[in-house]
Structures are given as C-alpha cells and as structure tokens.
A = this chain, B = another copy of it.
Amino acid sequence: MMLIFVGLGLCSHKGLPLRGLELARDSDWVYMEHYTSLLPELDLRELEGWVGKPVKVVDRQTLEENPEEILERARKGKVVLLVPGDSMVATTHVDLRLRAEKRGIPTLVVPSSSILSAAPGLTGLQSYKFGRSATIPFRDHPSTVPYDTLVENSARGLHTLLLLDLRAEEGRYMTAGEGMEIMLELEARMGKGVFTPETLV
C-alpha cells in the first residue's frame, strides 16, 4: 500500500532519476501526467521500455476530480505517479498526496530536476541571487503579481525567474515572446521602469 510521486524532470522522460526508475519497475501500476508542464521530447514508448510495464497517461480532470482509481489501487498495491519536473512543485500533487495520507495510504516523494534550480544553472546566474519567482498568466487572467515580484526583487538587486503560463488541455503554452509582451504592457500601466525594451532577459 503506497502512492509514490516521482519527478520526470525537464524536457522528456529522460529526467527520470534511477531511484524513480527502480520504484516504477518494482510497482504494481504506473501512471503519468504531463499537463502541469511541457515535456516536448517525451517518448512514451521509450519510457515504457525503461520501466518494463505500461504507463497510463491521466489528464487533469482524472487527477484533480476523479483520482479514485489511483487511490484505490494505492490502497491495494504500490502505485507510481510520474509527473513533469520536480514532483511536489504543482499544487495538484500536494492535494493528491494529502488525500492519500488522509486515507492512511503512505506516500513517498522522489524529487527530480526543476526549472527552479535548472534555470539559474543553465543561464550561469547564481541561485543565491534569485528572489521570489512568479508566473506570467495568460491575458484572460491578468495579474500584476509577476510585475510586483519583479519590482520587489529588483529593489533588492535580485534576479527574478518568471514562469510562463500553460493550459495543456487546450494545447496552449505561452512563448517567451508573449510573456515579454505581457510584461511590457504591465510596465506601460504600472510605470516603475523595471521591464523595458532595454531590460536584459
């Protein structure tokens, strides 16, 4: 009886850590979601080859509104849920973990690479010098939070990691260009001079 959350890391199934691979091989059922983040190079057949058993892909609705099958199976055996990035960054998984624990099902979390630590490393910036991060939401859910965060961090001389909104179920992934346009619109409205065409991004 166990529900194990395993991070798949970035880009593809190949961010899966050895520990997660061993747990998946040793489990009774393997599930995966890839709607909380984009895995552009995911190869499901190859992943199943590594794991040695079928991997059942679940969508947002199943995972958030109807996770009964997963929880019931976790009550009887060992279930692994593969998720993009680090396994506990998205609130969905925190919620599912809490549901499992409330039913007395033990849970285990296997971390993997996350954009939160990879972005500083890949850009060559010091992770110590990052302030709070924020997400740029699509225009139909406007928010000043990414701009406010940038104002706050800039005043302290800190870098800001701005994440891009996505709605996998609608096939929508914000591009960096779109994110920058939204930030420029916020700049035009808020006028604190923290995001201009001269800003280094």
Binding site for B on A (CB under 8 A): 7, 9-10, 12-19, 21-22, 50, 86-89, 91, 94, 109, 111-114, 116-118, 120-122, 124, 126-135, 152, 156, 158
Kindly state the separation between the CA atoms of A17 and B145 in the bound complex, as whole angstroms: 34
Kindly state the separation between the CA atoms of A169 and B118 in the bound complex, as whole angstroms: 27
Q: Closest residue of chain B to A19, judged by CB?
A: B14
Given contacts A111-B10, A132-B130, A152-B156, contact A86 B117 (CB under 8 A): yes
Given contacts A86-B118, A132-B129, contact A113 B17 (CB under 8 A): yes
Q: Closest residue of chain B to A9, judged by CB?
A: B17
Kindly state the separation between the CA atoms of A156 and B156 in the bound complex, as whole angstroms: 12
Kindly state the separation between the CA atoms of A113 and B22 in the bound complex, as whole angstroms: 17
Give the residues in chain B near A113, CB-CB below 8 Å: 7, 17, 86, 111-114, 117
Give the residues in chain B near A12, CB-CB below 8 Å: 19
Q: Are B16 and A18 in contact (CB under 8 A)?
A: yes
Q: Are A17 and B14 in contact (CB under 8 A)?
A: yes
Q: Are A17 and B19 in contact (CB under 8 A)?
A: no
Minimum CB–CB distance from A145 to chain B (whole Å) comes to: 9
Give the residues in chain B near A88, CB-CB below 8 Å: 118, 120-122, 124
Kindly state the separation between the CA atoms of A125 and B1 in the bound complex, as whole angstroms: 25
Kindly state the separation between the CA atoms of A48 and B118 in the bound complex, as whole angstroms: 26
Given contacts A12-B19, A133-B127, contact A117 B121 (CB under 8 A): no
Between-chain CB contacts (< 8 Å), 19 pairs: A9-B111, A12-B19, A15-B18, A15-B112, A16-B18, A17-B18, A17-B113, A86-B117, A86-B118, A88-B120, A94-B124, A111-B117, A111-B118, A113-B117, A114-B114, A128-B132, A128-B133, A129-B132, A152-B156
